[in-house]
Structure 1
Amino acid sequence: LNTYIGDNGDKRGPVSVIDLSLIPAEVIQIVTAVIARMTLEALQRYRKLNDGKVLPTVLVMEEAHTFIKRYSQDSDDQSASRLCTEIFEKIAREGRKFGLGLVLSSQRPSELSPTVLSQCNSFLLHRISNDKDQELVHRLVPDNMHGLMKDLSVLPARQAIL
C-alpha cells in the first residue's frame, strides 16, 4: 500500500486517488476487494503496533452499486462480486474501530448491500425518481424525516437533502 497509496508522511499529500477506470470489467471487483482488504488489514496492524492509536482513513467509492451489490444470503455463490461485497460489509461493520470509514456514492441505492446501508450514519440524497430506490430510502431514514422524503422525486438540480 505504501508504494501505491503512500503513508501518513507521504510527500504527495494526504489524499490518494486510485483510478480503476482502465481495469477490465472481468477483474474490477477482485482488484477493488484486494485494495479494500489490504487497507483494512494495514490499519488493523497499525493499531496493534501503535498501542491502539488509529490512522484515520476514508475509502470513497463512486458508483458503489458496482462493487457493493445486494446478494441472496441463501446462495452459496462465491463470485468475485459477492467476495467484493463481503469485504465492504466487514469494513462497514468493523472499520471504524481501526479508523477506516466509507463514503459511498450511488445512483441506485436499492442495488447496494443492505448490511452496508444499515451501517451508514448519514445520507446526502439528490433527486431519486426510481420507485424502488425511493422505497429503500424511506426505510433507511428516521420516521420524522418522511415528510421531506416525499420531495425526493422533484428536487431541483444541485439541491439535496442531508
Structure 2
Amino acid sequence: MDNDALLPPLPLAGGDRGVGSRFRLGRPTARARDLRNNATLHEQMLWQQLKGGRLNGLKFSRQIPIAGYFADFVCRSCKLVLELDGSQHADAAMHDEARTRAIEAAGYRVIRFWNNDLNENMDGVLENIVNAAMVADREPAPAPPASGRGETK
C-alpha cells in the first residue's frame, strides 16, 4: 500500500484562505469569477437585495470558497452562508448535507432557500436572513481549538 495515499494534502502556499483540498492547483479566483459572471437568475435576484449593504448594512460577498466549496453568499462578519437551491437540489440532498456540514465545520452557519422562495416570498427570505444574522451576532464565538502551544500541564 502506498503510504502517501494516507497523508493529508499539503497546505497551499499563502496559508489557509478557506480553500479546501479541491483546489490544490492554486487559488480558485478564476472559478469564483466565472461563477459570479454566470450567476443564475435567482442568484442575481438575491444579489440585488444584498449588495452594497442594502440589507440592514450587512456586507455579503458572492461565490466565496469555504471548506472546498463555493458558498453562494457569505456575510463574513456574522459567519453566515446563504445557499440557493433549485430543482436540481431535490436529487442532491446527500451532497448538500455534506456541503453544509463542511461549511459549518469551518465555523459558518448555513441557511438554504429554494429558488421558489425568492419568487413567492422575497420579503420573507430577507427577514429570515436578517434574523439569522442577528442570532449570529448574539451567539458567542466558538472557542478556538487547542493548539498545544503555550499550554502547561
What's the TM-score, normalizing by structure 1? 0.27
Relative to total residues, which structure has the larger strand share, 1 or 2?
2
What's the TM-score, normalizing by structure 2? 0.28
Larger RCO (alpha carbons 8 Å, 6+ apart): 1
